[in-house]
């Protein structure tokens, strides 16, 4: 691995990504072997958005690797207002060995990485959600036994998560099909990147406005909330637009008979997914949530060790 930061999955090679996923699986199986890998190291956690899984998985993860965390709430820093981003980065350089940021603007993560000498991990931005995608593909590998040629269908908003799923799917040789309402497709630059990079791994990325087409014979069906943090004012309008994209038992019936259902959580039952689906035996959402811990441990070891 040549990069020191983890900003986007697309920054890494297929070998890098698969290596981290394989190590995450090993960490999950034998956690005691990794208990001192980051002994004494400090990870700063900058949160400008609320979080359950990101906060707990990074906090617990660094502790279980022998290090410790320093939580920085929005009021502690007020990035770019109380103190400039370069100054924040240069201060933290002197005090901690790694930095995770969960924020709105993707540029903030890029700027922190540019001005920092320590590794910077993107815990979520408005453009991408790379740590989530790593846990997702780890879960798919565990449950389906392969990633190359795997049919992964995503139904919903072409958002930050969708971008990272495309990045990961292309690198890992998956067949990614996404169904979004018209006007809510993933960013054109992500699709252009996918077209250019997919030939190397045999991956396929298809975008449609028809959820049935996307889900047909899928091995994995994925959805996300219809209105992400920062889009609350659009929530009611989005409910009406996205209602035909709800993942219910009728839609799941078009997937393969042994398909699994995943969701990055939090989930709003009877909106983007029905309770019948998310609470069914096909759903592996809590295994997927647990894998955030293991995948992020692998990322921290690769960057901070």
How far, in Å, CA of 109 to CA of 103, rounded?
8
pLDDT at 3: 56
Asked if residue 277 has pLDDT above 80, the reply is: yes
Is 129 assigned a catalytic role?
yes
**Helix 160-172 / helix 14-29 crossing angle, nearest 10 deg:** 100
DSSP H or E stretch at residue 242: helix 235-242
Catalytic residue flag (residue 302): no
> Which entry of 18, 53, 129, 263 is annotated as an active-site residue?
129
* 11 CB burial (10 A radius; 0-12, 13-18, 19+): middle
Per-residue model confidence (pLDDT) at position 1: 40
Task: Reply yes or no on whether 246 is catalytic.
Answer: no
Active-site option among 177, 292, 294, 302: 292
Which listed residue (175, 177, 224, 288) is catalytic?
224
Token digits of residue 298: 């692998």
SS3 of 290, please?
A: helix
Does the active-site annotation cover 106? no
Mean pLDDT over 211-216 rounds to: 98
The tokens for 249 are 């038992």
- What phi and psi, each to the nearest 5 degrees, are found at residue 213? -60, -40
pLDDT of residue 234: 87
Which of 263, 268, 260 minimizes the C-alpha distance to 289?
A: 263
Compute the average pLDDT of residues 277-289.
Answer: 98
- The mean pLDDT value for 88-105 works out to 96
Residue pair 7/113 in contact (Cβ under 8 Å)? The answer is yes
Whether the CB-CB separation of 271 and 246 falls below 8 Å is answered with yes
Q: Which of 64, 132, 246, 288 is catalytic?
A: 132
pLDDT in tens, 218-261: 999 999 999 876 777 888 999 999 999 999 999 999 999 999 99
41 is catalytic: no
Tens digit of each residue's pLDDT (9 = 90 or more) over 6-52? 999 999 999 999 999 999 999 999 999 999 999 999 999 999 988 99
63 is catalytic: no
Question: Cβ-count burial of 170 within 10 angstroms (0-12 exposed, 13-18 middle, 19+ buried)?
Answer: buried
Taking residues 149-176, report their average pLDDT.
98
Q: Which residues sit opposite 44 in a β-bridge?
A: 70, 99
Catalytic residue among 18, 102, 177, 294: 102
Higher-confidence residue: 78 or 261? 261
Residue 293 confidence (pLDDT): 98
Q: Quick one: pLDDT at residue 2?
A: 44
Whole-number average pLDDT of the chain: 96
Full set of structural domains in the chain with CATH: 9-129+290-304 (3.40.50.1370), 132-288 (3.40.50.1370)
Q: Which of 111, 171, 264, 302 is catalytic?
A: 264
Residue pair 60/300 in contact (Cβ under 8 Å)? The answer is no
For residue 42, the SS3 value is strand
Residue 136: pLDDT above 90? yes
Give burial (CB, 10 Å; 0-12/13-18/19+) of 201: middle
Give me the pLDDT at residue 78, please. 73
Q: Quick one: pLDDT at residue 228?
A: 79
């Amino acid at each position: 691995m040549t990069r020191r930061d983890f900003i986007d999955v697309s920054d890494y090679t297929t070998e890098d990504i698969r290596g981290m996923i394989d190590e995450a699986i090993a960490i999950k199986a034998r956690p005691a072997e990794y208990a001192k890998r980051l002994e004494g190291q400090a990870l700063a956690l900058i949160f400008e958005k609320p979080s359950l899984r990101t906060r707990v998985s990074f906090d617990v993860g660094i502790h279980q690797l022998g290090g410790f965390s320093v939580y920085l709430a929005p009021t502690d820093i007020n990035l770019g207002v109380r103190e400039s981003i370069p100054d924040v980065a240069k201060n933290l350089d002197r005090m901690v060995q790694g930095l995770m940021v969960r924020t709105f603007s993707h540029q903030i993560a890029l700027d922190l990485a540019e001005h920092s000498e320590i590794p910077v991990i993107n815990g979520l931005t408005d453009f991408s959600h790379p740590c989530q995608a790593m846990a997702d593909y780890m879960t798919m590998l565990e449950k389906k036994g392969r990633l190359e040629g795997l049919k992964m269908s995503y139904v919903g908003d072409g958002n930050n998560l969708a971008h990272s799923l495309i990045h990961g799917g292309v690198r890992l040789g998956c067949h990614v099909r996404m169904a979004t309402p018209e006007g809510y497709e993933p960013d054109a630059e992500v699709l252009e990147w996918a077209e250019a990079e997919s030939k190397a791994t045999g991956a396929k990325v298809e975008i449609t406005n028809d959820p049935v087409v996307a889900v047909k014979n899928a091995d994995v069906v994925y959805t996300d909330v219809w209105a992400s943090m920062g889009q609350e004012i659009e929530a009611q309008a989005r409910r009406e637009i996205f209602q035909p994209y709800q993942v219910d038992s009728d839609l799941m019936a078009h997937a393969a008979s042994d398909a699994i259902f995943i969701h990055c959580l939090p989930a709003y039952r009877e909106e983007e997914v029905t309770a019948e689906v998310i609470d069914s035996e096909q759903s592996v959402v809590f295994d997927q949530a647990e894998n955030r811990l293991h995948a992020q441990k692998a990322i921290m070891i690769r960057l901070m060790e």
